[in-house]
């Protein structure tokens, strides 16, 4: 069975703090993709990053960074120096060869000024 | 270029009525997906179209739900005899063919369905 678990339901931080959102996945596929999406209060899902199962290099994009570890089936997302505009629900998702995305339950991040 | 569009943005209907939701994918995207998001929940996969292949209907919750797609363009999701538990935001996404650019899905703004 394929599954994505985001154990943190809600996280609250103060602006400029660093925050890490956890994602653990389960799959028997040898080839798969992992994604992170952001859903701000407006509701529209925004694609953040894609990582394929053969590439375990960490990635950094501005204040965002992602740590993919196959050994622990984790794909964690860190926001450095958080800002109020980062407040949103963040979803981790797994895509198998069949194409459909399997989403975690989401982590609501609140960044307070 | 234009993103994924969905209509209507909001729909309020009475229990027992049929509703039809529309999705216009990004031009050139061969794959189209429907998801449902209940309040405060994650996204549930409903159905997936890829080119001329038979759709993957494995996520449809009951036979009251059906979807069609015209070629590689517009798709409609139909819910017959709506129930209150059908109230949710219905999201459509499209992506390039699998294997190209990782097939990341681009989402529309959703249709918020309320069944009274």
* Interface probe, candidates B9, B36, B42, chain A, greatest A C-beta count within 10 A: B42
Residue B101 has pLDDT above 60, yes or no: no
- Give the Cα separation of A53 and A68 in Å (integer): 9
Tell me if A98 and B56 make a contact (CB, 8 A cut-off).
Answer: yes
**pLDDT per residue as tens digits for the range B32-70:** 999 999 988 889 999 999 888 889 999 999 999 999 998
For residues B92-107, give the mean pLDDT: 76
CB contact under 8 A, B103 and A98: no
The three-point CA angle A86-A91-A93 to 5° equals 145
pLDDT per residue, tens digit, chain A (113 aa), is 889 999 999 999 999 999 999 999 999 988 888 999 999 988 889 989 888 888 777 777 889 999 999 999 999 999 999 999 999 999 999 987 777 889 999 999 999 99
| Alpha-carbon Rg for chain B in angstroms | 14
pLDDT at B79 (0 to 100): 98
> Any bridge partners for residue A35, and if so which?
A50, A93
- Out of A46-50, B89-93, B108-112, pick the least confident: A46-50
- The set of residues, in sequence order, having a beta carbon less than 8 Å from that of A59 and lying 6+ positions away, is A49, A51, A65, A66
Question: Which strand (E) or helix (H) includes residue A88?
Answer: strand A88-95
- Contact at CB, A50 and B102, closer than 8 angstroms: yes
Label each residue of B83-112 as H, E or C. CHHHCEEEEEEEECCCCCHHHCCEECCCEE
Chain B positions touching A99 (Cβ under 8 A) are 31, 33, 48, 50, 56, 95, 98, 103
For residue A81, CA distances in Å to A10, A17, A87 come to: 18, 5, 13
Task: Give the nearest chain B residue to A97 (CA atoms).
Answer: B98
The pLDDT, as a whole number, for residue B50 is 87
Q: Which residues of A touch B91 (CB under 8 A)?
A: 45
H helix or E strand, kind and range, residue A110: strand A107-112
Query: B34 to chain A: nearest residue by CA?
Result: A100
pLDDT at B1 over 80: no
**pLDDT recorded at residue B102:** 58
């Amino acid at each position: 069975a394929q599954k994505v678990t985001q154990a943190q339901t809600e996280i609250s931080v103060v602006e400029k703090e660093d925050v890490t959102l956890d994602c653990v996945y389960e799959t028997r596929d040898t080839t798969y993709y992992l994604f992170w999406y952001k859903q701000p209060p407006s509701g529209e899902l925004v694609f953040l990053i894609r990582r394929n199962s053969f590439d375990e290099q960490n990635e950094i994009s501005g204040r965002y960074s992602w740590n993919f570890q196959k050994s622990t089936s984790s794909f964690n997302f860190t926001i450095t120096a958080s800002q109020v505009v980062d407040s949103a629900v963040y979803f981790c998702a797994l895509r198998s060869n069949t194409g459909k995305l399997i989403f975690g339950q989401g982590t609501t991040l609140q960044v307070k000024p | 270029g234009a993103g994924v569009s969905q209509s209507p943005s909001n729909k309020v209907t009475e229990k027992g009525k049929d509703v039809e939701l529309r999705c216009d994918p990004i031009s050139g995207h061969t794959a189209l997906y429907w998801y449902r998001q209940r309040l405060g929940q994650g996204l549930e996969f409903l159905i997936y179209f890829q080119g001329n292949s038979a759709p993957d209907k494995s996520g449809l919750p009951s036979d009251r739900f059906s979807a069609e797609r015209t070629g590689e363009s517009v798709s409609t999701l139909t819910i017959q005899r709506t129930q209150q538990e059908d109230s949710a935001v219905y999201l459509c996404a499209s992506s390039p063919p699998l294997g190209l650019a990782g097939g990341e899905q681009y989402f529309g703004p959703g249709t918020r369905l309320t069944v009274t």
